[in-house]
Amino acid sequence: MERKHLIALAALGSFGLLAGAFGFQYFGGLAPCAMCLWQRWPHAVAVALGAVGLALPRAVIAWAGALAMLLNAGIALLHTGVERGWWTLNLTCTGGGESLGSMDVTALLDPTQGEAIVLCTDVAWSLLGLSMASWNAIASLVLMGVWIAAARTRQAV
């Protein structure tokens, strides 16, 4: 397979995962936590790299895509560990942070104020015992493999 086709496949994979995340959010009503949002950025970078890689199918672009997916897999595995209680993080999205801003106590206790708080420790959806973060880690590692294959493919001269 040509490098350009592998780059397109990897970028489409990230695009599909992003579309799925937005679908769960806007059509499924599952609001993302902070760590869920962090996991979207490397996919967005991979989609942008895919667009560049279609015009300039260079190995360095494919290696950058592989790095983005490695980073994303790391974030997703970190999130999985937080969800499963393997480790704790002192973040506002885990309930352990101190970022309450200038709110007074009555506003904190009023359920009609602000947006719903989504904790990173809560699993909103799972399939076969794996959360969305876990599935994202698996998918990111697979996409990293596609990016690496693109980088290692010899380009016809």
Q: Is 99 within a domain?
A: no
Q: Average pLDDT, stretch 42-60?
A: 92
Q: So what's the pLDDT on residue 14?
A: 96
Residue 95 lies in a domain: no
Domain, as residue range, for 64:
3-86+104-152
33 part of a folded domain? yes
Q: Please give the pLDDT value at position 125.
A: 67
pLDDT of residue 98: 47
The C-alpha atoms of residue 10 and residue 35 are separated, in whole angstroms, by: 22
pLDDT of residue 96: 52
Distant-in-sequence, close-in-space partners of 117: CB < 8 Å, separation ≥ 6: none
pLDDT at 139 over 90: yes
Domain membership flag for residue 134: yes
Domain assignment present for residue 94? The answer is no
pLDDT (tens digit, 9 = 90+) per residue, 30-49? 788 878 888 889 999 999 99
The CATH number of the domain where 116 resides is what? Answer: 1.20.1550
Q: Which tokens belong to 100?
A: 């309450």
In a domain, 132, yes or no: yes
Give the total number of structural domains in the chain.
1
Tell me the torsion sign for CA atoms 114, 115, 120, 124. Answer: positive
Q: What are phi and psi of 93, to 5 degrees?
A: -75, -10
Domain assignment of residue 29, yes or no:
yes
| Residue 34 region by backbone torsions, left for phi larger than 0, else alpha for psi between -120 and 50, else beta | alpha
Residue 92 maps to a domain: no
Angle between helical axes of 59-84 and 34-55 (0-180°, round to 10): 170
pTM > 0.85? no
Distances (CA, A) of 87 to 34, 35, 57, 71: 17, 14, 40, 19
pLDDT digits (tens, 9 = 90+) for 68-123: 999 999 989 888 888 777 877 766 565 554 444 444 545 544 444 445 567 766 76
Residue with token string 């995962």: 17
Phi, psi of 113 (to 5 degrees): -90, 135
Q: How many residues does the chain have?
A: 157
